[in-house]
Structure 1
Amino acid sequence: MGAAGQSVAAINGAAVDRAHAAIRQNPTAIRASAADAFTARSVSVDADGTEHVRMDRTYRGLRVIGGDMVVHSRGGVMKSASLTLAKPINVGVTPGLSADDAIVAAGVQFGTQFNAVPTTSLVVFAGRNNPKLAYDVVYAGMTKEGTPQRLHYFVDALNGEILATDSAVKTGTLPGDRYGTGTPPSPPVLTPATGTGNSLFAGTQPLGTAWNASRRLFELKDLTRGSTHIKDLGNGYRLEAGTLVVDADNKWGNGAMSDRVSTGVDAAYGFAKTWDYYKSNFGREGIRGDGAGAWGGIHYFINYVNAFWSDECFCMAFGDGDGTSIRPLVTIDIIGHEVSHGVTASTAGLIYSGESGGLNEATSDIFGAMIEYYANNAKQPPNYVIGEQIFVNQAWNKNIRTMFKPYLDKISPDCYPNDANPAGGGNRTPAAWAGLDVHYNSGVANHFFYLLAEGAVVPAGYEAGTPANLGPSDLVCNGNTGLAGIGRDAAQQIWYRALTTYFTSTTNYAAARVATLQAAEDLFGAGSPQVTAVADAWNAVSVL
């Protein structure tokens, strides 16, 4: 470790010590019990010296799911803490049912498509108002369409109730590269190069590549962006079996599916633009902020109509579509969406169910759209519609989601259901809302972000006289048709700061409102137009 590394380590260590001192001095604010212990996960320091230390909590040695928090302090004085735990934990740690019983309870939901022995560990589940002793039961397998799964079931350790689920993959998967037995080969000698790629969606693009002097080949590996690289999975489903994409002349793809590398060009381009977006806008070096690149696997499975991010292998896999109506899922907004799941996993760690899961999905949609705007590629015109280019038939409303009017899919509510607006702008009662998949309840946060950035302005192609026939009143739930936006730059800064500084694993919509208001105040000042705009945009989607 050089001098700079020592300096950073010393600063972080001192910040962690100050955070622990703040916890001891303010036990009520962080809902601490005598049996709690805290471990620092990350540290960030603002320009004015304010320190934000993200902490994980244990209770009597057990992990507390939903007990994480961020301690905010300056000059050794605690300013506040971001957490969702409502009161100190006071639960017994002796289970009323066995680990095998918990596995059976979770297995009823998972089914028979598992391919590894389930594992269990005792935890305290604090994702609701009343913390409970629970088993964390992990099942690994595949869905019927071929998506890998690694699902966590939190099973009440007294009565077997499934309290919640979480997914390591926005589905789950096997680890990445491994050598077999014997001595691993020596690392190859690599030097940065620039290739030319012909993509399916993004046109002809320069690519960061590597010259492998040992093999006398170019690799689709970007040494300038953390060695981000692309593998061909050979239409299989085992990610560790993928083969690094290589080429002899540093010219990649032909812009069509007749060359298997063409989708790899889109993947490499999307990874590069995502890396550059986070670095340019937020100073973030890579997905985890540690300068390390991820990898992407093209040609996953056969006729696979999906793409996914896996926290466990730190990788993304791309399906080729069904070969008839859906094209390969390598458009830049989809790549930005999936890779942003990794950013969320390494910061707030939003649990992938309920409202926290919806905020997780919305975060990926938000940054996926903003990455598309950042790239500003005429071949992929930026907009607030997700995934429209993968559809062979480019008819109106052929897309995955529309952020400005989520209910165009006839499922995703435009607005949060409440007593004044029980339908939620999408025929959803509060009870029905509770059971919505995270890809649908995410619509409320998507809608909020659009209104914050753009205001109650109908996008071109959806205005009166088009099939959508939308007017400003269709974009708001409270009649505020004069709602003005603050622009994409300010809106994305607010959401990123809220995510990385104030969101925790169980943040819900009410807490997201508080977090984004605080983020806007941090960035633009108390009473600023931006703070007012955040409040107005949440009001317009009924998060009050």
Structure 2
Amino acid sequence: MSHTPHRRASAAGALVAAAALLAVGIQAGTASADATASQARNAVQPNPGAAAVSLSASERATLIADANSTTVQAAKALGLGEQEKLVVRDVVKDADGTTHTTYERTYGGLPVLGGDLTVHAKGGVTKSITKATNHEIKVADTTATVTPAGAEGQAVSAANAAGSKDAKASKSARKVIWAAEGAPVLAWETVVGGLQDDGTPSELHVVTDAKTGAKITQWQAIETGTGNTMYSGQVTLGTSQSGSNYTLTDAGRGNHKTYDLNGGSSGTGSLFTNTTDVWGNGAASNRATAGADAHYGAQLTWDYYKNVHGRNGLRNDGVAPYSRVHYGNAYVNAFWDDSCFCMTYGDGTSNTHPLTSIDVAAHEMTHGLTSVTGNMTYSGEPGGLNEATSDIMAANVEFYANNPQDVGDYLVGEKIDINGDGTPLRYMDKPSKDGGSKDAWYSGIGSIDVHYSSGPANHVYYLMSEGSGAKVINGVSYNSPTSDNLPVTAIGRDAAAKIWFRALTVGYFKSNTNYAAARTATLQAAADLYGQGSTTYNNVANAWAGINVGARIVSGVSVTPIANQTTQVNTAVSLQVQATSTNPGALSYAATGLPAGLSINSSTGLISGTATTAGTSNVTVTVTDSQSKTGTTSFTWTVGTSQQNVFENTNDYAIADNSTVESPIVVTRTGNAPSALKVDVNIIHTYVGDLVVDLVAPDGSVYNLRNRTGGSADNIIQQFTVNASSEVAQGTWKLRVRDAATLDTGKIDSWKLTF
């Protein structure tokens, strides 16, 4: 189950990371759970029109043929250049007639890596288009300066640097257009064969700039009757009889076959054959035991995809991959390989722990599904999402199996005990428990091994399925945190699986999908199935916020927090309450604890009047929507005497990415500033963790108020107290805000100083 970077061109995925031995898999099925498990499982009903139609092989072939016959017209309709052509990869059809046609692109006859796109149409009318890149596919010319041999030499050097053995180019470098990142460039793609450092076959793809010879990127394309199985007890297997012999050939599931490599590392070995329809004895010493486990895992995965998601085989063509067991000697891994369209399993430490449990088999087989659908490149953030997709679907297969010997859980590879200490390889509720995986997204997540960068995606799927906090499911205790320390409400495992599967298979996931794009893709799938703005949709967004990707969506009324207020006696007040609701209709406003002389407009939310009495009040504002849903915010309001001086700047100052802005206030008060100078700040900005906020005194002294804290929360509406007694009050004070990142912007809405 180790997986090295996976790409469609011949992708094999290993279950275990070479260094960390991270097995894949998550149990799936409908195993009975404790009362706390998947409480939202039946809370949502999908839109039946958005469900994929189960296609026969001939129906799918007809759809693809129809799409192929119109690629020229489609290219023109999409506004593609004269040198661009479309090649149909897959067509998925919904029950309401919507089709999702995924294309690869060529430019001047050259393959475009990262040029994949999907057209979503109904009744001949395009509804939307999902593209891996929005850049125009165009290069100055297609004449290479670097020779193919030069590119191949660099690729072999890269493989050797990664610890490969017997590295050599398995085929001549092919000229391509690289468009997965940034502006398209002419490049060479070289595939290097041999063995990785743990014995896993290598298919290292290296992309080299064809003009300069610089390496652009690289990824690994090897990803990681009655059966008496080692992990699942006695089970019924799909087998075939030929004369007096039986074989592990499942004619009812795409003719899936299971072979014995007998320690080899190539070919198919021997098809498992027996004079009786009984396979294995539950012990690793019997060669057919591993064969029974692998065969069982493949048939469960086939059934899950067909019976739950309506997909007739990985390619939706009714044809199954095949399985190979007993690979190598004491090989502690398993992998998927696109070039053979097959799953391969080692026998583990001392050849006594074959990596053939349900979740491992489902994990590897799901890499095959990903390779013909979303095809996320097996490196960087797309690689982590690729790896997590195998974990996610493997979990669902294990729950679906409902096998009492291997019950459904959110643990990865717990049965095979690859670490020898009884612990699983990965934990979906809190990925960091494995010592390497990450619980939440951060800007450098794409630079670590995909088995660790998969952690946030595994985590978001768990949060969607089960929600945050402590619970017990099938006897296993979980306690899932969130990066923003706010709770996440579950939508249920079934709904989460349907959403993830749809995003993967209808073209919302692309070859270069990163975490932000995956959030968008799953929200689109949730909108298709359950409606945009539905509770399910909102809770999917909230689960992503729980791993530091995107903002939360609150169902009902949201009231923007109000900073503590300071006003002088006999001073006019004008404070606007900001609120929204997910329900249509007008909002009404009320407030308790307002200082004497102030009132709130029930229709507009404007607090106005003239404060008449000194003192401090505790104010609560309540906003009610048309469905009687309410939201509140509370703050203090201090009315001071004339001895206090308040200076304010209400002008807006835009905060751009990676820039610094200052809002000035001219103070005319004599003497020094107080030891408790009040600084009220109202900054409107998404993702406040980007911001450094300072108060700058007239002499240039800097008092830091916030330093990139708050993570993904929005807006800084807060009062700070600063000991500025060493500063002369009179002069120009400044609120300085530095945005230290990209993507999120905002403004200084207002700020004030109270002396």
Tell me if TM exceeds 0.5.
Answer: yes
Give the CA deviation at 1:226: 1.2
Aligned residue number for residue 261 of structure 2:
233
User: What code does the residue aligned with 2:528 have?
Assistant: D
Aligned residue number for residue 177 of structure 1:
none
Aligned residue number for residue 458 of structure 2:
446
Give the CA deviation at 1:288: 1.5
Give the CA deviation at 1:237: 1.2
Residue 416 of structure 1 contacts residue 541 of structure 1 at CA under 8 Å; is this kept in 2? yes
Task: Give the Cα–Cα distance (whole angstroms) in 2 for the partners of residues 8 and 406 of structure 1.
Answer: 38
Equivalent of residue 470 in structure 2, options 454, 458, 469: 458
Task: Give the Cα–Cα distance (whole angstroms) in 1 for the partners of residues 549 and 197 of structure 2.
Answer: 36
Equivalent of residue 407 in structure 2, options 355, 374, 381: 381
Residue 16 of structure 1 contacts residue 53 of structure 1 at CA under 8 Å; is this kept in 2? no
3-state secondary structure, aligned to 1:336: helix
Residue 335 of structure 2 contacts residue 345 of structure 2 at CA under 8 Å; is this kept in 1? yes
Give the CA deviation at 1:170: 1.1
Distance 1:140 1:506, change over 3 A: same
RCO greater where, 1 or 2, for CA within 8 Å and sep 6 or more?
Answer: 2
3-state secondary structure, aligned to 2:167: coil
> After the TM superposition, which residues 34-433 of structure 1 pair with which residues of structure 2 at under 5 Å, given as runs?
34-91=82-139, 92-111=141-160, 112-114=165-167, 117-170=170-223, 195-213=225-243, 216-240=244-268, 242-323=269-350, 327-391=353-417, 395=421, 398-417=423-442, 430-431=443-444, 433=445
Task: Give the Cα–Cα distance (whole angstroms) in 1 for the partners of residues 324 and 62 of structure 2.
Answer: 38
3-state secondary structure, aligned to 2:349: coil
Give the CA deviation at 1:524: 1.1
Aligned residue number for residue 25 of structure 1:
77
Task: Give the Cα–Cα distance (whole angstroms) in 2 for the partners of residues 317 and 388 of structure 1.
Answer: 19
Which runs of 5 or more residues in structure 2 are unaligned? 1-55, 551-755
Note the aligned Cα RMSD (angstroms): 2.3
Residue 324 of structure 2 contacts residue 343 of structure 2 at CA under 8 Å; is this kept in 1? yes
Residue 71 of structure 2 contacts residue 87 of structure 2 at CA under 8 Å; is this kept in 1? no
Residue 388 of structure 2 contacts residue 458 of structure 2 at CA under 8 Å; is this kept in 1? yes
Task: Give the Cα–Cα distance (whole angstroms) in 2 for the partners of residues 285 and 150 of structure 1.
Answer: 28
Provide Cα deviations, 1:370-425, integer angstroms capped at 9, x if missing partner. Answer: 100000111112111110111178756x12111111111222111111xxxxxxxx
3-state secondary structure, aligned to 1:66: strand
**Which TM-score applies when normalising by structure 1?**
0.85
Aligned residue number for residue 437 of structure 1:
449
Give the CA deviation at 1:238: 1.7
Which runs of 5 or more residues in structure 1 are unaligned? 172-194, 418-429
Establish whether residue 488 from structure 1 lines up as the match of residue 493 from structure 2.
yes
**Which TM-score applies when normalising by structure 2?**
0.62
Bigger share in helix: 1
Identity fraction in percent: 41
User: What code does the residue aligned with 1:226 have?
Assistant: G
Equivalent of residue 528 in structure 2, options 513, 516, 522: 522
Task: Give the Cα–Cα distance (whole angstroms) in 1 for the partners of residues 500 and 482 of structure 2.
Answer: 20
3-state secondary structure, aligned to 1:90: coil
Residue 236 of structure 1 contacts residue 301 of structure 1 at CA under 8 Å; is this kept in 2? yes
Residue 86 of structure 1 contacts residue 129 of structure 1 at CA under 8 Å; is this kept in 2? no
3-state secondary structure, aligned to 1:231: strand
Task: Give the Cα–Cα distance (whole angstroms) in 2 for the partners of residues 49 and 196 of structure 1.
Answer: 41
Provide Cα deviations, 1:489-510, integer angstroms capped at 9, x if missing partner. Answer: 1100000000011111111111
Residue 209 of structure 2 contacts residue 216 of structure 2 at CA under 8 Å; is this kept in 1? yes
Residue 471 of structure 2 contacts residue 479 of structure 2 at CA under 8 Å; is this kept in 1? no
Residue 499 of structure 2 contacts residue 525 of structure 2 at CA under 8 Å; is this kept in 1? yes
Give the CA deviation at 1:96: 2.1
Residue 22 of structure 1 contacts residue 77 of structure 1 at CA under 8 Å; is this kept in 2? no
Residue 75 of structure 2 contacts residue 85 of structure 2 at CA under 8 Å; is this kept in 1? no
Give the CA deviation at 1:200: 0.5
Provide Cα deviations, 1:34-90, integer angstroms capped at 9, x if missing partner. Answer: 321111111122122212110111111110000011011122222111112132022
Provide Cα deviations, 1:458-506, integer angstroms capped at 9, x if missing partner. Answer: 354999xx9x9x755xx1001112x111111110000000001111111
Task: Give the Cα–Cα distance (whole angstroms) in 2 for the partners of residues 303 and 376 of structure 1.
Answer: 30
3-state secondary structure, aligned to 1:363: helix
Establish whether residue 507 from structure 1 lines up as the match of residue 499 from structure 2.
no
Provide Cα deviations, 1:289-327, integer angstroms capped at 9, x if missing partner. Answer: 111122111111001000001111111111111128x71
User: What code does the residue aligned with 1:362 have?
Assistant: A
Bigger share in strand: 2
Task: Give the Cα–Cα distance (whole angstroms) in 2 for the partners of residues 5 and 305 of structure 1.
Answer: 36
Aligned residue number for residue 537 of structure 2:
531
User: What code does the residue aligned with 1:359 have?
Assistant: L
Task: Give the Cα–Cα distance (whole angstroms) in 2 for the partners of residues 338 and 136 of structure 1.
Answer: 25
User: What code does the residue aligned with 2:232 have?
Assistant: A
Count, aligned residues: 489
Residue 387 of structure 1 contacts residue 400 of structure 1 at CA under 8 Å; is this kept in 2? yes
